[in-house]
Amino acid sequence: MSTHAVGATHHAPPEGFIWKYIFSKDHKVIGIQYLLLALFSVFVGMGLSVYMRIHLAWPGMKVPLFGGDFTPEKYLMLMTMHGTIMVFMVLTTAPQAGFGNYFLPIQIGAADMAFPTLNMLSFWTTFLSLMVLLAAFFVEGGAPISGWTAYSPLSALGSITGPGQGLGQTLWIFSIAIFSAASLMGAINFITTTIDLRARGLTMMRLPLTVWAWFVTAILSLLAFGVLLAAGILLLLDRVAGTSFFIPGGLIVSGVLQTKHTGGSPLLWQHLFWFFGHPEVYIAILPGMGVASHVLATFSRKPVFGYRAMVYAICGIGFLGFMVWGHHMFLSGMSPYTGFAFSMMTMAIGVPSAIKTFNWLGTLWGGQIRFTCAMLFAIGFVSLFVSGGLSGLFLAQPAVDLQLHNTYFVVAHFHLIMGVAAIFGMFTGTYYWFSKMFGRSMNETLGKWHFWITFPGVYFIFMPMHFLGLVGDPRRYADMTAVEFLKPLQPVHNFITYAVFVTVAGQLIFLFNFIWSLRAGKKVTDMNPWRATTLEWTIPSPPPFDNFAGHEPVVYRGPYEYSVPGHTEDFVPQHLDPAQVGKI
Amino acid sequence: MPGATLTDELDVLHSGGTGGGTPGSAGGGGNAGGRRPSPRGAASRIYYTGISLALAAIVMFFMALVSAYIVRKGQGGDWRPINLPQIVWINTLVLVASSITLEASRRAYDRDDATSFRLLWGATTVLGLAFLAGQYIAWRQLAAAGVYIASNPSSSFFYLLTAAHAAHLVGGLAALLYVLTRGWAYLRRSSGIAASVTGVYWHFMDGLWVFLLLVLQMGR
């Protein structure tokens, strides 16, 4: 293996448990910390959704919840916290800060992130944010009820607008503000590392698509989270300092005229929020695209079809992602001309998305496909991305969106594309990299059980929601049986809830497999069990403290050289000296 | 934020790279075509990349506030122009002066003139503190005139933008003090990166204030 001697590691190996595993500056430990935070959060978020589904299926059933009956407000609390925990603490942390932290430096041949201390700070700030968010459950009035989008004036006026809108909503805003700061620190680290710390020979067009995805995602974070932070501060001032940024004058809430506030704009909040919120969707999904591309190539034993087109598509999606926030606001009464512009830009995202999809299929085409668990989930990712993306084309049209926006159609759309597809990206990464991270393999048989329960499961959950939406079932309703025209839909809701039970059971298999494999999984002796090309497979599992043991690898070629004619093995690693190609 | 994280990472600079080699020296075929300066170069470059990115994020933050300002003013009705306290103009001069002393200090560093460097750097720090004190006085004057944060949207934005800028300036002051308390030998050893990055940040905060002041004055 050709490496290049450098004397530098960024910092000395830490001593003692606390510095090694708690306040570690090692990007690998921090990556795992993020993954564990996300794993905890995803089960909390999933638990909340199970509660909601039970209530939707059997609204009359007395389910104990925070002492007292299951009121519609409590349903909204569950919904708000489910959305917030899933979007911020799972979809934003695991794919980017988790896997990205662990593998970006290794894949570019660096000993660590550019700013290890900042990296540690970023994780613990995120942790604080999660704690503040969860605290909202335990304060007077409980968690907020205004959804993960916290639309004003519901979110801005305090406890007069409902339980949870007092201290609970304030904690929510603090949590999101803290989270924004943490994400900005992470983004600075990711971008700097990618720009400045690449190994010799690793040009941008030789980067693995995973690194491209993390890089572009970090740019989106950098530009989006500052805006969310600003919006959060304005909202907080409206609540605690009596300002009127988002609260209109002459508002009557619960029969009381609000005299303190004058002339603010609720739409201003929506604009600021969605200017962050739409890029956030891509922050969640882009890393999944990167991992899926990576894994599809590895297990098809073929180069990624159209590598450059894939890179440009990632950049194109990131760029367009900043210009479409208005499509979340077609119902807000914006000018139809504005709506038209946002609609056109939104549909334009279909172009790079289709490039990616066809290139994934092109990668699979004619390949020697090995259906490992990672590969199954990567193919599942492509499927979910297409299914969820196609409904986006419906919703991108204002005339259709007006009809569907507040229905289950939107719930189905964003869960498939942003929620489940991104989660499939995480499963792909977990099954693919587990052995590298922990030195033991996950059980493939259990993993296949997990896949074959989860993949149909999520379709059984979310496909029927499209039909619910088309017939006008409104989202955010706690009890469909209370409305005459929705009563006939109840069997569909029951079906979805049963599908949820089965799918959740599948996730317990995953959790068991994960924990069991940590302790008793088969030890891996081979550094490169998947016969893959990128740099993480050239070092031991788990990697040593400074990744390359004081050496810096040299890269000679692109990341996906599979089935190279004339070479004895069917792959050529990135670091292999050209003189060796064809000889070993 | 940027100042707080310099401490540990600067220490690695001098323990840093040995023999990174020159670009293209590896691999007989010359196939390793990427640009790559020595690790020492990379080690210092990350701070400039990092601070540029941090400033980009800060720009987005303030642009969000300023666009909210413009939109909110367009909402009409309740907007009452406020008279900016005269002292903000003096404060502005103080802050601009601090940029000038900072630049002079940087030149002293290049001349290897430790005494002038310390003197001018100290003057920059004092001027920065004076600016913050002046902003506080401006707040007190407004409050004395009965103009509070909730009085009307114009005053809300005045307090908000000045406070947000001051918060960022406090970070800059921390970085100024950090450099001031380091020994000269330390600064020379780390090639003056801490001083240089702090300078970039400080000048930026200076320019940002002038921009915000113009927004506040012209948009009243």
Can you give the pLDDT at residue B8?
42
- Chain B CB contacts of A192 under 8 Å are 46, 49-50, 53
If DSSP codes are grouped into helix, strand and coil, which group holds residue A543? coil
Answer yes or no: are the C-beta atoms of A11 and B8 closer than 8 Å: yes
Interface with chain A: mutation pick from B8, B35, B70, highest number of A CBs within 10 Å? B8
| Whether B9 and A268 lie within 8 Å, measured CB to CB | no
Q: Which of A1, A142, A42, A18 is nearest to A419 (CA)?
A: A42
What SS3 class is residue B125?
helix
Select the residue from A19, A188, A334 to test the B interface by mutation, using most B Cβ atoms within 10 A.
A188
CA distance A347 to A357: 15
| Nearest CB to B54; choose among A188, A555, A577 | A188
pLDDT at A16: 83
Nearest CB neighbour to A230, from listed B32, B49, B61: B61
Give the count of Cβ contacts less than 8 A between chain A and B.
Answer: 186
- Look at phi and psi of residue A369 and say left if phi exceeds 0, alpha if psi is from -120 to 50, else beta: beta
Q: Is B23 on the interface with A (CB under 8 A)?
A: yes
Are the Cβ atoms of A6 and B50 closer than 8 angstroms?
A: no
- The interface residues of chain B toward chain A in range 77-116, judged by CB-CB distance below 8 A, are 77-79
Show residues of chain A in contact with B26, CB under 8 Å. 2, 4, 200-201, 554
Kind plus residue range of the DSSP H or E element containing A552: strand A551-553
Nearest CA in chain A to B69: A245
Residues of A in contact with B56 (CB under 8 A): 222-223
Query: Chain A residue with minimal CA distance to B36?
Result: A200
Measuring CA to CA, how many Å separate A477 from each of A74, A80, A483, B183? 11, 13, 10, 65
Contact present, B174 and B4 (Cβ < 8 Å): yes
Residue contact B56–A222, C-beta within 8 A: yes
pLDDT of residue A438: 96
Task: Closest CB to B50: pick one of A116, A192, A242.
Answer: A192
- Across the strands, what pairs with A554? A200
Report the residue of B22, B35, B60 to disrupt the A interface, i.e. the one with the largest count of A CBs within 10 Å: B60
A562 beta partners: A571
- pLDDT for the residue A67: 64
What tens-digit pLDDT sequence spans chain A (584 residues)?
444 444 344 566 777 888 888 899 999 999 999 999 999 999 999 999 999 999 999 988 877 766 677 889 999 999 999 999 999 999 999 999 999 999 999 999 999 999 999 999 999 999 999 999 999 999 999 999 999 999 999 999 999 999 899 999 999 999 999 999 999 999 999 999 999 999 999 999 999 999 999 999 999 999 999 999 999 999 999 999 999 999 998 899 988 898 888 888 999 999 999 999 999 999 999 999 999 999 999 999 999 999 999 999 999 999 999 999 999 999 998 888 999 999 999 999 999 999 999 999 999 999 999 999 999 999 999 999 999 999 999 999 999 999 999 999 999 999 999 999 999 999 999 999 999 999 999 999 999 999 999 999 999 999 999 999 999 999 999 999 989 999 999 999 999 999 999 999 999 999 999 999 999 999 999 999 999 999 999 999 999 998 998 888 999 999 999 998 888 889 999 999 888 887 65
A115–B68 C-beta distance less than 8 A: no
Which pair of tokens denotes residue A124? Answer: 């613990």
Q: Which secondary structure element, helix H or strand E, spans residue A256, and what is its range?
A: strand A256-257
Gap from A453 CA to chain B (nearest CA, Å): 42
| Predicted local distance difference test score (pLDDT) of residue A62 | 76
Number of Cβ atoms within 10 Å of the Cβ of A149: 16
Rounded CA separation B88/B94 (Å): 10
- Cα A282-A288-A293 angle, rounded to 5 deg: 120
Encoded tokens for A504: 């959740």
What's the distance, Cα to Cα, between the start and end of chain B in Å?
31
For residue A173, what is the enclosing H or E element?
Answer: helix A167-196
Q: Which chain B residues have a beta carbon less than 8 Å from that of A114? A: 46, 49-50
Q: What is the pLDDT of residues B175-202, one digit of tens each?
A: 999 999 988 888 888 888 999 999 999 9
Average pLDDT over chain B reads 83
Q: CA-to-CA distance for A116 and A14, rounded, in angstroms?
A: 12
Distance from the A516 Cα atom to the nearest Cα atom in chain B, whole angstroms: 38
Residues 6 or more apart whose CB falls under 8 angstroms from that of B215 comprise B66, B69, B161
Contact A245 B72 (CB under 8 A): yes
φ/ψ of A168, rounded to 5, equals -55, -50
Answer yes or no: do A230 and B58 touch at CB < 8 A.
no
